[in-house]
Amino acid sequence: MSYFYFIFFIVLSCINVHCTTSLGTSNKRQTIEIIIGGGGNSGSTPVDCPPPPPPLCPPPEPESLPPPPVPKPPSPPPPRKVPTPKPLSPPPPRNVPTPKPPSPPPPLIFADQRLAVVYPVIQKFKNLITCDPLNITKTWMGADICKYKGFYCDTPPDNITATALASVDFNSFRLGAPSLDGFLDALPDLAIFHANTNNFAGTIPSKILELQYLYELDVSNNKLSGAFPPALLAKNNLTFLDIRYNFFSGSVPPQIFSGNNLEVLFINNNNFMQKLPANFGSTRILYLTLANNKLTGRIPSSIGKASALTEILLLNNQLSGCLPYEIGNLTGLTLFDVGNNQLTGPLPCSFGCLGSIQALNLAGNMLYGAVPEVICALGNLKNLSLSGNYFTQVGPVCRDLIRKGDLDLKKNCVPDLPFQRSPVECAMFFSHPRWCPFSSSYFYIPCMPSHNAHLSRNKTSSSAYKAPSPTYQALIRHRL
């Protein structure tokens, strides 16, 4: 048993020595002695003891410790993941009734099938309008075409119970469109088409020939161009044609003066040129205006056969040659104007047969010789203009007209009248020989068998200068 305790105390001592290595050797020994029973430092001689066995657990050798590691900088925090918001799901469908589609507009009911035919034609043309300053086209809606502004209905000749679009009057509407094709020629019952003072371009449609009732056409003061519309040459029922103040060019076709029923032809203020056709006298036209173009050559002698002519305007062209005496055959003529051309020669005495003439303008030419007294004696003559010529003699009847203000003879070569050309200017003119064929015809008066009778102005047939001339009004852009 003592041996067991001996071993126990040795193990315990070993453990104590290991735990108290910081003390000195003497202290260790003293501690062991105390624990075993040897006492303290009492001065007694210590009992010799056998040397202690080697420690079972030698103290561990001190190891050199590595330097403390340098602390790493803190790593940045990882980026926060922002969750992508999920798309909001549509709310659950509510039990709302599906709206019904709008009901189609009620069908248009036209007063006559002929109006239903022209309705799409008008609507198509409405979509082509590029200018409408007066808001005319806003009235072109609905089935009542007869109430559209500018459109007029009537009974067609072939059916007295029907209603058709008979007339179009766009005068001064200032509408603009690139063409009249597909409109003017697509109104089958059209009788009158007036479109003065607009901005229509292009030319006159060729299919206008198919309009069987059309008898009046006025497209003056627009922007139409091209040659004289050939389709108009075959329109035998056309009685009124006004294409003035446009940009038509080329020649005036001979067919326009024959084979038709034209009564009014206004083609002034265009760019027509070349000569007047030889069949000029075949016309049945009453009012003819060819002014302000570029017509050249002589006035055909056939003009004397145009017995229906009432007014004719040829002023401001480039006509030349001598006046044909046949003009004196136009006894129904009330207005004759060839001012500002290049006409020359004496003034035919046959003009004394123009018993109905009220206005006679020969100013601005190169006429010369004596002013025939027989002309000044015409009873209805109220305006005789011979200014700007080279006349040299005036008789008493003509002087009487000068005093009354009915005869203008300024800028001529009459020596004793005021406001004449200078002698030098007159001498220069007569220094060049001038000649007209059939010179004897200029003294012929077909309506007076004895033309040597005493001439005096006929007072019985005189009448006031009445309403303004339609042909002179055609020289103005606005509608007649």
Q: How confident is the model at residue 79 (pLDDT cuts 50, 70, 90)?
A: low
Check residue 463 and give its pLDDT.
39
Which distant-in-sequence residues (6+ apart) come within 8 Å of 65 by Cβ?
none
Check residue 435 and give its pLDDT.
87
Asked if pLDDT for residue 52 goes beyond 60, the answer is no
Distance CA 6, CA 37 (A): 12
Least confident residue range of 26-30, 74-78, 230-234, 438-442: 26-30
Least confident residue range of 21-25, 81-85, 420-424: 21-25
Asked if pLDDT for residue 24 goes beyond 80, the answer is no
DSSP string computed for 80-116: P-PPPPPPPPPPPPP-PPPPPPPPPPPPP--SSHHHH
Structure tokens at 41: 């430092």
Closest CA to 175 of 155, 194, 147: 194
Average pLDDT across the chain, whole number: 84
Structure tokens at 473: 């009004």
Check residue 301 and give its pLDDT.
95
Closest CA to 242 of 232, 251, 227: 232
Least confident residue range of 47-56, 131-140, 407-416: 47-56
Least confident residue range of 95-104, 332-341, 391-400: 95-104
Q: Torsion-angle region of residue 21: left (phi > 0), alpha (psi -120 to 50) or beta? A: alpha
Asked if pLDDT for residue 46 goes beyond 70, the answer is no
Domain assignment present for 330: yes
Closest CA to 388 of 402, 404, 408, 405: 408
Q: How confident is the model at residue 42 (pLDDT cuts 50, 70, 90)?
A: very low
Domain assignment present for 455: yes
Average pLDDT over residues 384-404: 97
**194 near 264, Cβ under 8 Å?**
no
Question: Residue 282 is part of which domain span?
Answer: 215-473
Q: How confident is the model at residue 106 (pLDDT cuts 50, 70, 90)?
A: confident
Check residue 135 and give its pLDDT.
97
**322 near 347, Cβ under 8 Å?**
no
Closest CA to 230 of 247, 207, 211: 207
Structure tokens at 287: 């009012």
Which distant-in-sequence residues (6+ apart) come within 8 Å of 465 by Cβ?
358, 359, 382, 383
Average pLDDT over residues 63-91: 65
CATH number at residue 407: 3.80.10.10
Element (H, E) at 473: helix 470-473
- How many structural domains is the chain composed of? 1
Domain assignment present for 107: no
Asked if pLDDT for residue 31 goes beyond 80, the answer is no
Amino acid symbol at 251: S
Distance CA 12, CA 65 (A): 30
Check residue 255 and give its pLDDT.
92
Domain assignment present for 110: no
Domain assignment present for 243: yes
Average pLDDT over residues 108-121: 94
452/307: higher pLDDT:
307
Average pLDDT over residues 444-459: 62
Asked if pLDDT for residue 217 goes beyond 80, the answer is yes
Q: How confident is the model at residue 477 (pLDDT cuts 50, 70, 90)?
A: confident
Helices 2-19 and 25-36, interaxial angle, to 10°? 150
Asked if pLDDT for residue 368 goes beyond 70, the answer is yes
Torsion sign over Cα 399, 403, 407, 410: positive
* β-strand pairing of 407-408 with 271-275: unpaired
Average pLDDT over residues 159-187: 96
**314 near 364, Cβ under 8 Å?**
no
Check residue 274 and give its pLDDT.
86
Domain assignment present for 451: yes
Domain assignment present for 64: no
Check residue 453 and give its pLDDT.
39
What does the CA dihedral 230, 231, 232, 235 come to, rounded to 10 degrees? 140
Average pLDDT over residues 360-375: 97
**215 near 192, Cβ under 8 Å?**
yes
Domain assignment present for 142: no
